[in-house]
């Protein structure tokens, strides 16, 4: 299991991709450490590349430690260092950060995993940055992002009947099923699973009513999950069950690692002068996802 610093620390917050960590971190070592070791709970699902690239750029940190690690990363991928570094460099190169494109091109030409790097950057970079580096294709299966979090598959194997009952209650149940769903969350806690809370929280938010009065307190705990993919569900649930209490999460969400969290925050946060400044930043940032930039522009339009 990956070791996480306490969530009250800036290092722990950055490891989890939390907005508060991005807002407060100033230490280069903390940021670089989160590239060298991939702290995502699920590497193929949770997002960190934009979050970390933005920190590196905005803090004025050098990219040399990243490009050097492409050559030096452990081949066994125990910490997913190579892929994590590559994803961050892809974002930085797309944003036009000085030196990134040239160094990545050099790795494509000289590095042992140059073909893999080329496949990644060719998806988003302008064609003139990579077309001359193309090599003859090699037949082989393309890597695909899982359609559902792997944790759901493993959980169904470990306890399919119970998990399926919980999913059915979350999707179709009523107020009488609230205790069952709350017990399901306790069951996930006992398994130290960190996956699937979002499915049950979605159900609790849909059902609502007096039985869910304690859910916002639960959401405050779940907010600190390293499985950041689920955080958007927690914020949506907060908005449904406790709109006033959700405001702090919306403000923090403008700095979150997950685009769905940033998008929801942009759409729903209450406007103020400093929130408008952040929306201008997100609207104009080439690193940001197109849908988030568009939502920020819409909120800023009189």
What's the pLDDT at 149? 55
- Report pLDDT digits (tens) over 241-285: 999 999 999 999 999 999 999 999 999 999 999 999 999 999 999
Least confident of 55-59, 76-80, 122-126: 76-80
**Predicted confidence band at 156 (pLDDT cuts at 50, 70, 90)?**
very low
Whether 256 and 19 have beta carbons less than 8 Å apart is answered as yes
d(CA 128, CA 31): 30
Tell whether 5 is covered by a domain: no
Tell whether 82 is covered by a domain: yes
> Taking residues 78-98, what's their average pLDDT?
94
d(CA 59, CA 122): 27
The last residue of a domain, from among 109, 133, 157? 133
Q: Are residues 22 and 110 in the same domain?
A: yes
Q: Are residues 193 and 248 in the same domain?
A: no
The last residue of a domain, from among 213, 244, 270? 213
H or E element, residue 121: helix 114-121
Q: Are residues 209 and 266 in the same domain?
A: no
Q: Are residues 38 and 152 in the same domain?
A: no
Whether 47 and 228 have beta carbons less than 8 Å apart is answered as yes
Whether 215 and 205 have beta carbons less than 8 Å apart is answered as yes
What's the pLDDT at 139? 46
What's the pLDDT at 159? 58
DSSP state, 150?
Answer: H
Q: Is the pLDDT reported for residue 167 higher than 60?
A: yes
What is the model's pTM?
A: 0.89
- Report pLDDT digits (tens) over 169-225: 999 999 999 999 999 999 998 877 778 999 999 999 999 999 999 999 999 999 999
Q: Are residues 55 and 151 in the same domain?
A: no
What's the pLDDT at 146? 47
**Whose CA is closest to 165, among 194, 190, 199, 198?**
199
Q: Under 8 Å CB-to-CB from 222, ≥6 apart: which residues?
A: 197, 201, 230, 234
Q: Are residues 191 and 89 in the same domain?
A: no
Q: Are residues 120 and 229 in the same domain?
A: no
Residues above pLDDT 70, as percent of the chain: 89
d(CA 176, CA 135): 60
Q: Are residues 170 and 269 in the same domain?
A: no
Tell whether 218 is covered by a domain: no
Domain count for the chain, please give it. 3
Question: What is the overall mean pLDDT for the chain?
Answer: 91
Domain that residue 90 falls in: 10-133
Tell whether 165 is covered by a domain: yes
Q: Are residues 81 and 151 in the same domain?
A: no
Whether 201 and 219 have beta carbons less than 8 Å apart is answered as yes
What's the pLDDT at 105? 95
Tell whether 76 is covered by a domain: yes
Q: Is the pLDDT reported for residue 150 higher than 60?
A: no
Exposure letters 66-86 (e unless 16+ CB within 10 A, then b): bbebbeebeeeeebbbbbbbb
CA 87 to chain centre: 12
Output phi, psi for 277, to 5 deg. -60, -40
3-state secondary structure 201-254: HHHHHHHCCHHHCCHHHHHHHHCCCCCHHHHHHHHHHHHHHCCCCCHHHHHHHC
The length of the chain is 302
Tell whether 48 is covered by a domain: yes
Q: CA geometry: angle at 159 spanning 157 and 163, to 5°?
A: 105
Q: Are residues 125 and 186 in the same domain?
A: no
Q: Are residues 89 and 21 in the same domain?
A: yes
Tell whether 51 is covered by a domain: yes
What's the pLDDT at 141? 46
What's the pLDDT at 134? 83
Tell whether 2 is covered by a domain: no
The last residue of a domain, from among 213, 235, 255? 213
What's the pLDDT at 302? 87
Q: Are residues 35 and 123 in the same domain?
A: yes
């Amino acid at each position: 299991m990956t070791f996480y610093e306490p969530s009250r620390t800036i290092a722990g917050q950055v490891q989890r991709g939390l907005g508060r960590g991005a807002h407060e971190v100033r230490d280069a070592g903390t940021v670089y450490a989160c590239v060298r070791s991939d702290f995502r709970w699920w590497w193929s699902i949770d997002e960190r590349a934009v979050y970390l690239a933005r920190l590196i750029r905005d803090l004025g940190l050098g990219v040399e430690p990243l490009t050097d690690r492409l050559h030096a990363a452990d081949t066994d991928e125990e910490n997913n260092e190579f892929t994590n570094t590559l994803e961050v460099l892809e974002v930085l190169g797309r944003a036009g950060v000085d030196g990134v494109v040239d160094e990545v091109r050099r790795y494509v030409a000289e590095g042992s995993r140059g073909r893999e790097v080329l496949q990644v950057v060719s998806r988003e970079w302008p064609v003139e940055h990579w077309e001359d580096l193309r090599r003859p294709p090699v037949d082989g299966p393309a890597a695909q992002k899982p359609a559902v979090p792997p944790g759901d598959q493993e959980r169904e194997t470990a306890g399919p009947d119970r998990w399926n009952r919980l999913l059915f209650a979350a999707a179709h149940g009523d107020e009488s099923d609230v205790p069952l769903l709350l017990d399901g969350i306790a069951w996930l806690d006992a398994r130290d699973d960190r996956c699937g809370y979002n499915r049950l929280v979605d159900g609790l938010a849909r059902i609502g009513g007096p039985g869910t009065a304690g859910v916002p307190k639960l959401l405050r705990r779940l907010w600190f999950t390293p499985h950041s993919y689920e955080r958007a569900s927690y914020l949506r649930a907060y908005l449904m069950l406790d709109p006033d209490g959700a405001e702090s999460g919306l403000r923090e969400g403008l700095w979150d690692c997950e685009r769905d969290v940033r998008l929801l925050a942009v759409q729903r946060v209450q406007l103020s002068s400093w929130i408008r400044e952040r929306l201008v930043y997100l609207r104009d940032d080439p690193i940001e996802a197109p849908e988030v930039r568009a939502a920020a522009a819409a909120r800023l339009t009189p």
